[in-house]
């Protein structure tokens, strides 16, 4: 059970599952904990993009893409 991320459980259960797993493994298997931390972040970022209907800017040519 994760005491540091309990507040996430009600609204974002998938994020909570990942951070709880990361927290439980932080001392015994830090590399796996890092994996679960990244997974939690990816889930949260995907949620942000799903909830924000703003279109992403389109780039007109290759030279503009180099400076993004």
Query: Alpha-carbon distance 23 to 10, whole Å?
Result: 18
Query: Alpha-carbon distance 62 to 20, whole Å?
Result: 42
Provide the pLDDT for residue 50: 87
Provide the pLDDT for residue 66: 65
Tokens at 26, concatenated: 């932080």
Average pLDDT, the chain: 86
Burial letters 25-62, b for 16+ CB under 10 A, else e: beeeeeeebeebbebbeebeeeeeeeeeeeeeeeeeee
Provide the pLDDT for residue 17: 95
59 DSSP assignment: P
pTM score, whole prediction: 0.72
Provide the pLDDT for residue 3: 82
Residues of the chain with pLDDT under 50: none
């Amino acid at each position: 059970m994760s005491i540091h991320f309990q507040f996430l459980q009600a609204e974002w259960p998938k994020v909570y599952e990942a951070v709880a797993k990361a927290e439980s493994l932080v001392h015994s298997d830090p590399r796996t904990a890092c994996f679960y931390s990244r997974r939690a972040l990816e889930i949260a970022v995907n949620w942000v993009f799903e909830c924000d209907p703003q279109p992403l800017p389109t780039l007109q040519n290759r030279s503009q893409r180099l400076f993004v």
